[in-house]
């Protein structure tokens, strides 16, 4: 537009100085010069106005482009939709053991493991996450909580949720977990509220308050306090009680505070979380407070290329008013026993290998070692070493585990046993997850 105006103005100026004008008188020549001066001034003023208009137009164009970009970004941003997804798993299990003559005579046994259902999603920004497990011998809720993401970093969960403690979410790679699981210090879920600070600025924090265990504590209205997924204290062992007896002195955990802090460091391809965990709570006998308990751990979880190394050192103590040095625990529809005080150490190494073998997309090879020692009840150490691998193939996920253990639940012993024999169990767990 500016170029066209300049051409028009120059043409007008040229008309005033056509060859015919040279025949004018001196007076007419002075008048023409005056008109030319005025015309030049008008041209300069008009050019200034045109320049201002072009600058304004450019600003408007930039604003329109920016607005269009913002609208495009808003339209392309993911839109959260309300809805609850249903998932689950069906699993079977094969085992061949050294501690059952019948099992050895049959060359092992195949059995149904579990059918489970999972619910996950949100309605109106309120999250839901739940899992219920159906066994031949019991039904158990592993977790069931609602949550809300109230800032970018912080989330709150309320219901049956995981107690923050130790390497998260698991201190193991195999199907059996680690020795810590059987003393209630791995993958434990209780009734309470949990605040989670997601990884930001290299650190994360989990703080929880748990009113009771997942079955409502010492006087929860349940058919059996052993029908649960997580190991919890259900009583104190009195003199003369058997390791597997129903607890003669019922107890339950209550008002437990638990915290877990993890700091992430990186050096090249090596990435490590260094963490510390602690918990403390009370023990109730149904009428009054009957003692308290606490535990703490230091742990690390390192990744280097396809390698993963987990280390954890843990100490726990149950201080019961009657001075019991052995506690009753319940899970998987039966009662067992643990020392009232002990130390635990675990070392887990794994190597993950992505593959493309038909439906097989991943393999993980591992060796997990755990030891529980310095037991207050004087029983022998609990040891478990698992060498194995897992296979991911579509919806199928399978564990192949060779277990060697002493005084280990589900491997021919008890966490409060006193055997010097090392037992063996070869186990295959096949699960289809949907």
pLDDT digits (tens, 9 = 90+) for 157-211: 999 999 999 999 999 999 999 999 999 999 999 999 999 998 878 999 999 999 9
pLDDT of residue 199: 80
Residues of the chain with pLDDT under 70: 1-80
pLDDT of residue 312: 98
pLDDT of residue 201: 85
pLDDT of residue 31: 58
Q: Show the tokens assigned to 228.
A: 């649960």
pLDDT of residue 81: 75
Pick the CATH number of 85-433 from 2.30.110.10, 3.40.50.720, 2.40.160.10, 2.60.40.1180: 2.40.160.10
pLDDT of residue 80: 52
CB 405 within 8 A of CB 98: no
pLDDT of residue 200: 78
Domain ranges for the chain, please list them: 2-76, 85-433
pLDDT of residue 198: 85
Q: What's the Cα-to-Cα distance from 22 to each of 14, 18, 26, 38, rounded to whole Å?
A: 13, 8, 10, 19
């Amino acid at each position: 537009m500016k170029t066209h105006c300049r051409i028009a103005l120059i043409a007008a100026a040229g008309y005033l100085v056509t060859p015919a004008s040279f025949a004018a008188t001196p007076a007419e020549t002075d008048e023409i010069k005056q008109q030319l001066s005025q015309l030049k001034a008008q041209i300069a003023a008009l050019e200034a106005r045109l320049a201002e208009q072009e600058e304004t137009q450019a600003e408007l164009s930039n604003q329109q482009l920016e607005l269009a970009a913002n609208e495009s970004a808003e339209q392309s941003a993911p839109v959260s939709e309300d809805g609850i997804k249903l998932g689950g798993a069906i699993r079977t299990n094969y085992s061949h053991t050294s501690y059952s003559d019948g099992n050895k005579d049959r060359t092992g046994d195949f059995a149904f493991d579990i059918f489970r259902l999972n619910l996950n999603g949100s309605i109106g920004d309120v999250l839901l996450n739940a899992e219920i497990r159906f066994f031949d011998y019991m039904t158990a809720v592993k977790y069931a909580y609602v949550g809300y993401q109230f800032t970018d970093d912080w989330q709150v969960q309320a219901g049956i949720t995981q107690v923050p403690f130790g390497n998260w979410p698991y201190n193991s790679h195999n199907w059996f977990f680690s020795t810590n699981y059987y003393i209630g210090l791995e993958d434990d879920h209780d009734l309470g509220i949990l605040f989670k600070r997601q990884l930001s600025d290299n650190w994360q924090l989990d703080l929880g308050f748990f009113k009771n265990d997942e079955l409502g504590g010492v006087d929860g209205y349940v058919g059996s306090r052993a029908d649960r997924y997580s190991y919890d204290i259900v009583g104190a062992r009195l003199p003369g009680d058997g390791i597997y007896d129903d607890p003669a002195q019922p107890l339950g955990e209550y008002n437990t505070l638990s915290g877990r802090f993890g700091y992430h460091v990186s050096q090249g391809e090596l990435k490590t979380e260094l963490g510390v965990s602690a918990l403390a709570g009370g023990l109730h006998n149904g009428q009054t407070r009957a003692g308290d308990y606490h535990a703490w751990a230091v742990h690390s979880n390192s990744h280097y290329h396809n390698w993963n190394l987990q280390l954890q050192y843990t100490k726990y103590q149950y201080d019961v008013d009657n001075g019991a040095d052995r506690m009753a625990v319940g899970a998987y529809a039966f009662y067992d026993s643990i020392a009232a005080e002990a130390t635990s150490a675990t070392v887990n190494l794994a190597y993950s290998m992505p593959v493309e073998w038909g439906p097989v997309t991943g393999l993980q090879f591992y060796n997990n070692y755990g030891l529980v020692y310095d037991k207050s009840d004087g029983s022998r150490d609990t040891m478990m070493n698992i060498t194995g691998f897992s296979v991911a193939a579509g919806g199928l996920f399978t564990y192949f585990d060779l277990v060697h253990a002493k005084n280990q639940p589900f491997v021919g012993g008890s966490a409060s046993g006193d055997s010097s024999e090392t037992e063996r169990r070869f186990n295959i767990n096949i699960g289809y997850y949907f």
